[in-house]
Chain A
Amino acid sequence: MSLELLKEKGVALDKQTFNWRDMVRVPTSKLDDDALTRVRIILMNGIESEALRFQHACARVNKDLQLALARVRRVEQHQQTMVNWLLPADLSPLETTIGFEQVAIEVTASVAQHEPDPYLAQVYRFGLLEDFDHMHRFSALMDRVVGGDANNILQSYTDILPGRPTSVEHRAPEDDLRECYDRSKAAPISKLNACTIMAGEHQTHDYYMTIGPMFADPIARQLYAEIASIEEQHVTQYESIIDPEETWLEKWLLHEAGEIYNYYSCLTYETNPRIKSIWQRFLDYELGHLHFVLEVFRKFEKRDPAELLPESLPEPIEYRSHRQFVREVLNKEVDLRARGTQFISKDEEEADSPSQRYRSQLNSDGSPSETIAAGYRWKPGTELAEETPDIQKLQRKVA
């Protein structure tokens, strides 16, 4: 059953209230909750973070919208708090990082498969293989510095394998910009997808920039510096696929629709009843925001906003393992590089191209992502483990 955006009114903005105890709840369990519950929490923190970021930018150039934006934004900020505070304190910054990369892999994989525009789908697959490699590097960091196994966090949903090597992901800015969708022709799902992935990548960048200096190990500090730089490139890539000709109010409306779509997707797949009730509540809040913004839109743009929105929501983001899809993409596209807005094979990238020169300079005194994973291959229980458990034997015992 899908949700009809214009018919469902949700909770009115002035009925959306919080108190501190309500906002700061007992968090989820690192050990007992499903990894995909954590994936949803991390993504929704990013979605709310993008809501705030966009609304602030909008307020800075639209005096007439400032009060309306401030009212909605206050609630979004409290929503973000409630969602982000669901992460527990025993989840270390590095473990959270593994969760962030799992978001980037599994959510982008779902989006890439449901994206109707072939060029945009290619853009998502291109970014996906880079985050996939980050997982490999961070897993090596966890194993070799902390003595931990990243699969305690991943719960076997996501492979730990090399992707497009992080050391070659560094590109000149002109090779990170992409073609944008056309606001008048693009399918609504394309607009929602772009906003979702941009939000996820932006919060990943901001998170790595915050926690990078908290590590004592110099290789860890370097690795966060390096991967944060790639995340900045990803934000550049994903924000460039969004049509800049959309009006501010159009963008606001699409952001609210994107939040609805994402809470709806979370609600569809959530297994923890305590968390599910939060997704339901915030889905209703976001419907309230949408209807509030619809009124603002009608007032200022003097046109029918219905033409911008789908009648009902598209198929939700699929919260499951996308292992087979990711492996196929890895197999076929790991050697892609970018030239301008187009993708080329690595053989076509000339030695004196802007990206090659940029990359050579950045890696001229060594590559942290290569150093941390030198000779590394993931193994259950870390590379210090004597032997790999025989899963077939264990399965027989369980049976």
Chain B
Amino acid sequence: MAAPESEEILLEGNELEVLFNRTGLMVNPEMSAEMIQAAKNIEPSPGDIMELAAERADYISEGIPIGSYPPIIDGEDAAESEKLAVLLDKLGERLAFERQGTRLYQTFIQKLEAMPADDENAPSADELRHICDEELEHFRLLQRAITDLGGDATAMTPSADVAGVISHGVLQVACDPRTTIAQTLQAALTAELADNDGWQMLQQLAAELGHADLEKQCEKAFEQEQEHLQNVRSWLANMTLGEALALEGLEDDEGASNDKDEEDKPRRSQAKRSSRSKASSRRKKRK
């Protein structure tokens, strides 16, 4: 027999077997009971979890940093330079974040356009485009601000590096073609929460260090970011609530089952429904 050429054929033919979450104990209760019993029968390994702390402390005490502040092009006196380096580090962090945010929303828009949500609670592509444009605007604002302060806007500052590590997962979720609009919104929410605090801190820092123009620019960006956060939060909340209520409606339509055996089985209904809607949207797209 020839192997199926299309992944879709394989998926649709065995939908119930393929789209079934197998991660919990109750999928294989007998085998799980055996495992639990075996683990209970042994003594824990000697020592305790605090040994990890001592090992980590050993490395921490070497005091080698993740990286240094980039040099400042317009040299000032040492004390001023130190303060400026802190500001430039945080500006560099926001710059990297906004640049990545632009790519995040571009990916999100592409996903939304390829897989229409069929959900009135979901954002529209235009609404996401508005956020994306503002992320790009903020990135460019930061480029100019860093250059004007005598920094090198192309350098990766230590805070930018750390922010990149933190946001790695956010981008992975957005880029994954298998994640839903709601799951991508969850990733965007994490980014927006961090971004809001980031701009607020920048505004305060600029004010403290006497950079009035920068403070104003940060204030404006912060206001725009607050709007992003509010929108993302509300889309996500409404989509999640909408999904739950829609499922409740379906349960009512189908009628409650009185069969005790059926109740004891792990429920496949949700996987079945989401796979149906996904397969349907894939078919629509290919047509």
Residues of A bordering B, CB below 8 Å: 21, 26, 29-32, 88-90, 92, 144-149, 151-152, 215-218, 220, 380-382, 384-387, 389, 394, 397-398
Most buried by A among B74, B102, B156: B156
A-B CB contact pairs (8 Å), 26 listed? A26-B62, A26-B64, A29-B67, A29-B68, A31-B67, A32-B67, A89-B165, A92-B164, A144-B103, A146-B103, A146-B171, A147-B103, A147-B104, A149-B156, A215-B172, A215-B175, A216-B175, A217-B107, A220-B175, A381-B143, A381-B153, A382-B99, A385-B153, A389-B147, A389-B152, A389-B154
Q: Name A93's closest neighbour in chain B (CB-CB).
A: B168
Q: Is A31 within 8 A of B139, CB to CB? A: no
A-B CB proximity, top 4 nearest:
A31-B67, A147-B100, A216-B176, A217-B175
**Which of B62, B68, B168 touches A32 (beta carbons < 8 Å)?**
B68
Given A92-B164, A216-B175, CB of A384 within 8 Å of CB of B136: yes
B103 x A145 contact (CB < 8 A): yes
Cα-based distance from A216 to B103 in the complex (angstroms): 14
Residues of B within 8 A of A88 (CB): 66
For A32, what are the chain B residues with a Cβ–Cβ distance below 8 Å?
65, 67-68
Please give the residue numbers on chain B whose beta carbons come within 8 Å of chain A beta carbons, in ascending order. Answer: 58-59, 62, 64-68, 73-74, 96, 99-104, 107, 136, 139-140, 143-144, 147, 150, 152-156, 158, 161-162, 164-165, 168, 171-173, 175-177
Are B103 and A29 in touch, CB under 8 angstroms? no
Residues in B neighbouring A217, C-beta threshold 8 A: 107, 175-176
Closest beta carbon of chain B to A224's beta carbon, Å: 14
Residues in A with CB closer than 8 Å to B96 are 147-148
* Minimum CB distance partner of A219 in chain B: B175
When distances are taken between beta carbons in the complex, the residues of chain B under 8 Å from A398 are: 73
Q: Shortest beta-carbon distance, B102 to chain A, in Å?
A: 6
Knowing A26-B59, A90-B161, A90-B164, the reply to whether A386 touches B143 (Cβ < 8 A) is: yes
Complex CA–CA separation, A397 to B76 (angstroms)? 12
Q: Give the docked Cα–Cα distance between A381 and B136 (Å).
A: 13
- Given contacts A29-B64, A394-B73, is CB(A148)–CB(B175) below 8 Å? no
Q: B150 contacts which chain A residues (CB < 8 A)?
A: 397
In addition to A29-B68, A152-B154, 8 A-B residue pairs with Cβ atoms within 8 Å of each other are A31-B161, A145-B107, A145-B171, A218-B177, A380-B154, A384-B139, A394-B73, A397-B150
Tell me if A386 and B99 are in contact (CB < 8 A).
no
Contact B140 A386, beta carbon cutoff 8 Å = yes
Give the distance in Å from the alpha carbon of A398 to the alpha carbon of B75 in the complex.
Answer: 8
Contact partners of B173 in chain A: CB under 8 A: 216
Q: Are A389 and B168 within 8 A (Cβ)?
A: no
Given the interface pairs A92-B168, A145-B175, the reply to whether A31 lies near B102 with Cβ below 8 Å is no
B2 to chain A, nearest CB (A): 18
User: A152 vs B95: C-alpha distance in the bound complex, in angstroms?
Assistant: 14
Q: B156 contacts A31, CB within 8 Å?
A: yes
Residue in B74, B99, B164 whose beta carbon sits within 8 Å of that of A384 in the complex: B99
Contact A149 B154 (CB under 8 A): yes
Whole-angstrom CA separation of A21 from B147 in the bound complex: 43
Q: Which residues of A sit under 8 angstroms from B73, Cβ to Cβ?
A: 394, 397-398
Give B237 Cβ to nearest chain A Cβ, in Å: 25
B-side contacts of A92, CB under 8 Å: 164-165, 168
Residues of A within 8 A of B59 (CB): 26
**In angstroms, how far is the closest chain B Cβ from the Cβ of A314?**
35
CB of B54, distance to nearest CB on chain A (Å): 12
Chain B minimum-CB-distance residue to A95: B164
- Please tell me if the beta carbons of A385 and B65 are within 8 angstroms of each other in the complex: no
Which one of B59, B65, B107, B161 has the greatest number of beta carbons of chain A within 10 Å? Answer: B161
Complex CA gap A30/B160 in Å reads 12
Cα(A151)–Cα(B104), bound, Å: 21
Assess whether A148 is in contact with B153, with CB atoms less than 8 Å apart.
Answer: no
User: Which residue of chain A lies nearest to B141 when distances are taken between CB atoms in the complex?
Assistant: A386
Residues of chain B lying within 8 A (CB to CB) of residue A147: 96, 99-104
Q: Which residue of A lies closest to B144 (CB)?
A: A386
Q: Which one, A29, A151, A220, A384, contacts B102 given CB within 8 A?
A: A384
Bound state CA distance, A89 and B59, in angstroms?
Answer: 14
B139, A151: Cβ atoms closer than 8 Å:
no
Distance from B141 Cβ to chain A, minimum over Cβ atoms (Å): 10
- Cα of A149 to Cα of B143 in the assembled complex, Å: 14
A92 nearest CB across to chain B (Å): 7
B275 CB, nearest partner CB in chain A, Å: 19
A379 to chain B, nearest CB (A): 10
Tell me, rounded to whole Å, the shortest Cβ–Cβ distance linking A393 to chain B: 10
Complex: how many Å from CA A215 to CA B153? 28
Question: Could you tell me if A152 and B103 are in contact, using CB atoms closer than 8 angstroms?
Answer: no
Shortest distance in angstroms between A231's beta carbon and chain B's nearest beta carbon? Answer: 23
Tell me the minimal C-beta distance from B96 to chain A in angstroms: 7
Cross-chain contact B165 with A90 (CB below 8 angstroms):
yes
Q: Report the minimum CB–CB distance from B60 to chain A (whole Å).
A: 9
Considering the chains assembled together, what is the distance between the CA atoms of A340 and B147 in angstroms? 54
